Amino acid sequence: MEKELPPLVPGTLYLVATPIGNLEDITLRALRVLKQADLVAAEDTRHTGMLLKHYGIQKPLLSYFKFNEARRSEELLERLAKGQTIALVTDAGSPGISDPGTRVVRAAIAAGFRVEPVPGPCALVAGLTASGLPTNEFHFVGFLPVKSGARQRELARLIQLPGTLVLYESPHRVDRLLADLTELAPDRTVVLARELTKRFEEFIRGTAKELHAKFREARWRGEFVVMIAPSDFGDSTLNTQNNSSALRRIDTSSS
């Protein structure tokens, strides 16, 4: 089947999305691009090396991360100029989404090279689409500032916006985020998408106040996408609908 497909286009930067937990979540095209590219630029070469090994792919790897982005971008452009094909990946999900990538994309465009997305997993899309919250208008801001004053100010501004607010947060800061939100908008509907695509995937729904109290009891771990309903969101039944892997197991065993 692979023979019928067109070869990669020389001098192209491919942005390849990789799994956010479940190794089955990689597209056929992503695997082909990773196999055929001259080089894989990776956020963490060890991490990506393991991923490639899992799919039986051997490829030269070059590290490309936040603190060497500028230098590496130049090097990648030089390779593109020689007609090489480069697959850029990050540790998980879509490059450039709260991850390195944007700088080299901009530089490649400015220098007249082709940039081609190879779409796939992205935690924000996975979380939002299954959250039950409005998807017609949403604001994704990635991570909020770490410093509490700046974070609170930013959150106060963001929750005024129409549409669903989608945030990424590190596991040890979700508690503080819920505390801030409880102060600002205690009755706002919140959905926490935890450990998406992994064994203990769970959607935890409730008001900010409820989830803050629950979080203190349950001390959930893992990765989270935090989604905050718009202020005019009227469906309060959603607040009681949780969807955990445990529930799913009951469903499948009874069918």
User: Which secondary-structure segment (H or E) carries 173?
Assistant: none
Q: Which spans of this chain sit near ligand SAM (rule: CB under 6 A)?
A: 20-21, 90, 92-94, 97-99, 122-124, 168-170, 193, 195-198, 223-225
What is the residue-wise DSSP string for 48-87?
HHHHHHHTT----EEE--TTTHHHHHHHHHHHHHTT--EE
CB of 119 to ligand SAM, least distance (A): 10
The 8-class DSSP code of residue 232 comes to T
With tokens 């695509």, the residue in question is: 197
Pairing relationship of beta strands 86-89 and 243-244 according to DSSP bridges: unpaired
Residue closer to ligand SAM (CB basis): 11 or 96:
96
Residue closer to ligand SAM (CB basis): 210 or 223:
223
CB of 201 to ligand SAM, least distance (A): 7
The 8-class DSSP code of residue 38 comes to S
Q: Return all residues near 132 (Cβ < 8 A) that are at least 6 apart.
A: 191, 205, 235, 238, 241
Residue closer to ligand SAM (CB basis): 220 or 224:
224
Residue closer to ligand SAM (CB basis): 107 or 124:
124
CB of 65 to ligand SAM, least distance (A): 11
Residues 10, 80: Cα–Cα separation, whole Å: 8
CB of 234 to ligand SAM, least distance (A): 27
Residue closer to ligand SAM (CB basis): 123 or 133:
123
CB of 106 to ligand SAM, least distance (A): 17
